[in-house]
Amino acid sequence: MKKQARFLFCWLCLQVIFASVFSEDWGAAVVPSMNALVTSCVVVPCTFKYPGTELPDSRIREIWHEKADWKKIIYQEDKTEIVDSFKGRTKLLGRLGNKNCTLEIDEIKDYDNGPFCFRAEIPGQDKSKFSFVENCVSLSMMPDPDDPTLDHKEVLEDGVPTTFKCFVVHTCPSHPPTLTWSRANKDATTKNRHLSNGVWEIESLLTLTPTEQDDHTQLNCTASFHGGKKSLTSNRIYVKRK
Ligand SMILES: *[C@@H]1O[C@H](CO)[C@@H](O)[C@H](O)[C@H]1NC(C)=O
C-alpha cells in the first residue's frame, strides 16, 4: 500500500513536470486599460509565460517600456536604464518565480497615459528574445477621485442599530484609500476587494444606534487617497421616534 502511494505520487510529479515543459508558449496577459488617479498610484496586473523548462529568476529580464519607443524604459531591474521621468516611481510587485509582472507606478503625473508595454527577455539566447509589444496598458488620468457612495436606510428608528456602508473604487491596492466617518470611527470595519481587471473596491461598515437627537443631522464619509487627494459624501439622516 505504501509502495503504491509512493508510485502514484511520483507519477503525479512526472505529469506536472511534463505539463510545464511541453504545454507553454510565449505570452503575456496585461490589463489593456485602467484609470489612474493623479498623485496616487496604479497597480497594473500582469502575468506571463515562456516555453520550455522553468528558468532561474536571474536568467529572465523583465522590462516595461513606452509603446511609442521601446528604448524609453519605465521599469527595469537596472535602475540606470530607466528614463528620468520614471526613476523612483516604478516597482515590480509581482514575483518573477510566479511569472507575475504586476507593475506599480507611483506619484501618477497627468502625462502618464502610456501605453506601457511589458517585455520579457532571456539574455544570451538571441532566438528567444521576445517582445510582447501587443500587451500594453493605457492609463486614463483622473484629475480628481470619485466621491464615495454612502448607503443606508432612508428613515432610521430611534434606538434601533443600523449599518451604514461607504465604498469607493480605486486602482492602487498597494496603498488603498482610507475611509473615515464623521463619528464613531473606531467601530467601523474595512474590507478591500478586487472587482476585476485591477479595479478594487474598499468599503467601510459602521453600525450606529441613532437617537432622536440625530434626526436631521449630517453623516459624512471621507475617502483619503494615497498621494493626498480626498473626496467626501455627506448624507442627512432622519430618525423616526419610537
Ligand atoms: C501578482 O502579484 C500581485 C502583487 O503581489 C498579486 O496581488 C497578484 O495576486 C499576483 N497575481 C497572480 C495571478 O498571482
Q: pLDDT, tens digit, for every residue of 157-198?
A: 999 999 999 999 999 999 999 999 998 767 799 999 999 999
User: pLDDT at residue 94 above 70?
Assistant: yes
Residue 112 lies in a domain: yes
Query: Does residue 131 sit in the same domain as residue 160?
Result: no
Least confident of 18-22, 35-39, 46-50, 231-235: 18-22
Distance 96 CA to ligand 1 centre (A): 11
Residue ranges around ligand 1 (CB below 6 Å): 47, 93-94, 98, 100, 102
Domain contains 13: no
Nearest to 152 by CA among 205, 188, 91, 98: 205
According to DSSP, the β-strands at 61-66 and 116-121 are: antiparallel
Which among 25, 28, 56, 24 is positioned nearest to 118, based on CA atoms? 28
Domain-located, residue 6: no
| 76, 179: one domain | no
Is residue 59 very low, low, confident or very high in pLDDT (cuts 50, 70, 90)?
confident
Q: State in Å: Cα 32 to ligand 1 middle.
A: 17
Query: Of 4-8, 50-54, 160-164, which range is least confident?
Result: 4-8
Tell me, yes or no, whether 15 lies in a domain. Answer: no
pTM reported for the whole predicted model: 0.84
Is the residue at 187 inside a domain? yes
Note down the domain range covering 52. Answer: 25-142
CATH number at 107 reads 2.60.40.10
**Rounded Cα gap, residues 58 and 60, in angstroms:** 6
Tell me whether residue 8 is in a domain. no
Q: Does 34 share its domain with 130?
A: yes
Locate 228 and state its grid cell: 493626498
Q: What pLDDT does residue 125 have?
A: 58
What pLDDT digit, counting tens, does each position of 201-216 carry?
999 999 999 999 999 9
98-132: b (≥16 Cβ within 10 Å) or e: ebebbbbbbebeeebebbbbbbbbbeeeeeeebbb
Ligand 1 binding pocket mutation candidate from 31, 93, 95, 102 (most atoms within 8 A of CB): 102
Domain check: are 134 and 158 in the same one?
no
- For residue 102, the CA-to-ligand 1 centroid distance in Å is 7
Q: What is the pLDDT of residue 13?
A: 46
Query: Is residue 208 situated within a structural domain?
Result: yes
19 pLDDT band, cuts 50/70/90, is: very low
For residue 21, the model assigns a pLDDT of: 39
Distance, CA of 223 to CA of 179 (rounded, Å)? 5
Higher pLDDT: 13 or 237? It is: 237
Give the atom of ligand 1 at the shortest distance from the alpha carbon of 94.
2
Which of 108, 142, 176 terminates a domain? The answer is: 142
Whether residues 60 and 132 share a domain: the answer is yes
**Domain tally, the chain:** 2
Q: Pick from 142, 163, 183: which residue ends a domain?
A: 142
Whether 18 is covered by a domain: the verdict is no
Q: What's the CA-to-centroid distance between 177 and ligand 1, angstroms?
A: 19
